[in-house]
Structure 1
Amino acid sequence: MVSEKKKYQAYYTKSTPIVEYMINQLSLQPLDKIFEPCGGDGVFIESILDKNEFAQIDICELNTDSVKILNNKFSEFPNVKIRECDTLLDSELNLKSRFGGVYDKIIANPPYGAWQEHEKRTTLKKMYPSLYAKESYGLFLYRCIELLKEGGVLSFIIPDTFLNLHMHKELRNHILNRTQILDLVLFPSSFFPGVNFGYANLSIITLKKNNNNTECLKNSFTVISGFDDVSQLSNVDNKFLKTYSFNQKDIYNNPDHAFLVTENNNILKLINQSKFKIGDIADCVTGFYSGNDKEFLQVISPEIKNSKNYKLVKIETINRDYKNNSNILNGILGDQHFVPIVKGGNIKYLKQESWFMNWSNTAIQHYKADKKARFQNPKYYFRFGIGVPMISSSNITASLIEHKLFDQSIVGVFPKDENLTYYLLAFFNSPTCNKLIRTINPSANNPANYIKKIPFITPKKTILEFITEKTKGIIDEIRETGNYNKSDELEIQSIIEKIYKV
């Protein structure tokens, strides 16, 4: 059974600076008709009524217990109407949105990643076919934009993932073409101590409904970041905060309409104007998953990180001749049926051979049939390429895939011209690449779709050869000593920085 917390994913806005900031952004007027699509414990409504006790307010709330709290709080306010309903599906709200919206102001801290029953999820996909139905906050934002009347203002506190994630492309398109963004504030979710959102950063977006597409794209807005403390929201003109100005048309013209927030104009030009992207010169694919690693994956030593509860592989069961097996994708006969696999972990250039996957005929049949397993992109298994971990720490890293299997925590990058392999390996381990990927996707995730978007500048032949040889030297050192000369790496990184000029 789904817990109440998982079902509603309601994180109530207990922060006074955040509430005050969002209320101020609405520029409340005496005759405003106001909507709160997920009332929670009523903290926004209390603040609104403090400023205008006669405001006409509609509240929707799905949680029965929360509805009772709201009714008790606002029982003496005939101008506050509370309904127990689902904002995303409610027929009365459907009618209001079809008439072009009816609300002057909308404010909310909507559910983030709320659990949806299969039947409801199917209905939501039909109602919002272009949106990412698994993420509830995006649906709430879209729905409430439609419920605003022309010129109406909305202020939402939501995760910042809608700014860049590929699956929110159509939501961004809607925002940029149907609203004028007034401002966007970015801050860490750690401002809410003790609450695990599952998101590193949050945002407050304030926007105004405008059905004139031309006026929307001409609009400029401010992005504010660099907060050290939530109290700084009370003075966003603070000189210690970072402030950026963007035009909506420029954002719209970015790849996937992504909000590329950076003060480095060279990075923006590269991302938008480079002739080639990594996806043009290399195949970027996700790797293999057994469906049950505790059963099929084994480790060379109990000293290996995260190896607890995994069986130790027997040396005599490791197959060293699998590269010569033309039928390798159908498995290996005999006792020597374990093959090396490259897993995640932020290690540069070359990873120690530590993990081995059961690659017997029987195991392969299981991987291909089991619903939990991912026998995906098999034509790239056991090829020579580069592995970039999906999850990184502060910096993106990459290591060689030397004709080995690679798991689903890795994005395999396979250059169409193998002569680029060592150059790309050096590039992925450079600060230059990190600047680019973090602008494209500020989170710590490096999925294939974002790696494909990284600009690629073809180096001169002499530079390509120099960096290739230097990188091969680093790898040889790691094989022999387990370490490498950092000055060689710095020299390579300096050359790459000069090529990209970022």
Structure 2
Amino acid sequence: MFSPQRSMGQYGTPQETVDYMVKSLLGYLDDGKQSYKILDPSTGDGIFLRSLIRSGVPPSSLVGLDIDPEIPSPHEEITFSHADFLREPNEEKYDAIIGNPPYKSKRQSTYLQENKDYLSKEFQSIGIHNMYSLFIYKGLQQLKRGGVLSMIVQDSFLSNVYYKRFRKYLLQHTEIKEIILAPRRLFHKGKADVRTAILTLIKKYPSDINPEHKMKLIDRLIDQNYFEPMDEQVQHLP
């Protein structure tokens, strides 16, 4: 029998990938701030939050959400609750959001089908095609101006015609800092043979976006060597 995470399309993230994402995220945060508020909206086993704690982030600065009522809090000092992130109010604002959201298409997801009316209204700007794109969009709504989002997601948003409005939204409301095409079969141990990418964004108002900004694109990696990819795999694109 599938777990709630598996039925939603959630799979555990390898530690090396998590540690890179955490280090990258913290590197983009404002060094001048004394404290941060960081959210993992699909906490699962808590691997992202524990990595943040090991990196020196106080547990009291961390917030975790998970829709599965059987998921325990990964740490007693973390603010943790069982909630549906896609239905959370947007009043709460975070300095950063990190995680591995569910990967399920509209055709595959019972959740998307059962919540179609609500989601169609709330996410009409980008359309409802996959759980992960909704998590990214919702995350941007809940970030502070200049906040950082880092998620590992399916790479279908890069070229699939269904994500045209989603790509346009990202270009108009964020500065894309990094896109790293993760190794194939990264989640194969969880029987999820999907192509994934690590996406790191800074939330910007359209008037704040620097037209000369360049993003880092790392071509499909063979292994989880995120810190030292081969030179020919790295591009800096306008």
1:55 Cα deviation (Å)? 4.8
- Residue 37 (structure 1) aligned with residue 32 (structure 2): no
Gaps of 5+ in 1: 97-101, 248-502
- Distance across 2 between alignment mates of 1:198 and 1:126: 31
Structure 1 residues 60 and 17, CA gap change in structure 2 (3 angstroms): same
- Residue 219 (structure 1) aligned with residue 176 (structure 2): no
- Residue 95 (structure 1) aligned with residue 100 (structure 2): no
Structure 1 residues 216 and 133, CA gap change in structure 2 (3 angstroms): farther
Quote the residue 1:19 is aligned against. 18
- Residue 62 (structure 1) aligned with residue 60 (structure 2): no
- Distance across 2 between alignment mates of 1:209 and 1:175: 9
Structure 1 residues 83 and 54, CA gap change in structure 2 (3 angstroms): closer
Quote the residue 1:49 is aligned against. 53
Residue identity opposite 1:154 in structure 2: L
1:147 Cα deviation (Å)? 1.0
Aligned length: 228
Structure 1 residues 122 and 7, CA gap change in structure 2 (3 angstroms): farther
- Distance across 2 between alignment mates of 1:3 and 1:54: 27
1:82 Cα deviation (Å)? 0.8
How does the TM-score come out when normalised to structure 1? 0.43
Quote the residue 1:179 is aligned against. 174
The alignment partner of 1:233 has SS state of coil
- Distance across 1 between alignment mates of 2:127 and 2:191: 22
- Distance across 2 between alignment mates of 1:86 and 1:221: 32
- Distance across 2 between alignment mates of 1:106 and 1:211: 17
1:219 Cα deviation (Å)? 1.8
1:85 Cα deviation (Å)? 0.7
Structure 1 residues 172 and 216, CA gap change in structure 2 (3 angstroms): farther
Please tell me whether the aligned partners of residues 176 and 216 of structure 1 are also in contact (alpha carbons under 8 angstroms): no
Quote the residue 1:109 is aligned against. 100
Please tell me whether the aligned partners of residues 184 and 223 of structure 1 are also in contact (alpha carbons under 8 angstroms): yes
Please tell me whether the aligned partners of residues 185 and 203 of structure 1 are also in contact (alpha carbons under 8 angstroms): yes
Please tell me whether the aligned partners of residues 180 and 219 of structure 1 are also in contact (alpha carbons under 8 angstroms): yes
1:124 Cα deviation (Å)? 0.5
Which structure's relative contact order is higher, taking Cα pairs within 8 Å and 6+ residues apart?
A: 2
1:189 Cα deviation (Å)? 3.3
Structure 1 residues 126 and 198, CA gap change in structure 2 (3 angstroms): farther
Structure 1 residues 3 and 57, CA gap change in structure 2 (3 angstroms): closer
C-alpha distance after superposition, 1:454-496 (max 9, x if no partner): xxxxxxxxxxxxxxxxxxxxxxxxxxxxxxxxxxxxxxxxxxx
1:198 Cα deviation (Å)? 5.1
Residue identity opposite 2:206 in structure 1: N
Please tell me whether the aligned partners of residues 21 and 233 of structure 1 are also in contact (alpha carbons under 8 angstroms): yes
Structure ID, larger Rg: 1
Structure 1 residues 216 and 112, CA gap change in structure 2 (3 angstroms): farther
RMSD: 2.2
1:229 Cα deviation (Å)? 1.2
The alignment partner of 2:115 has SS state of helix
Please tell me whether the aligned partners of residues 42 and 99 of structure 2 are also in contact (alpha carbons under 8 angstroms): yes
Residue identity opposite 1:133 in structure 2: I
Quote the residue 1:194 is aligned against. 189
Pick from 235, 242, 247 the counterpart of residue 233 of structure 2.
242
Structure 1 residues 234 and 243, CA gap change in structure 2 (3 angstroms): closer
Quote the residue 1:153 is aligned against. 148
1:16 Cα deviation (Å)? 2.0
Please tell me whether the aligned partners of residues 186 and 204 of structure 1 are also in contact (alpha carbons under 8 angstroms): yes
1:169 Cα deviation (Å)? 1.1
Residue identity opposite 1:110 in structure 2: P
Structure ranking higher in helix proportion:
1
Please tell me whether the aligned partners of residues 108 and 157 of structure 1 are also in contact (alpha carbons under 8 angstroms): yes
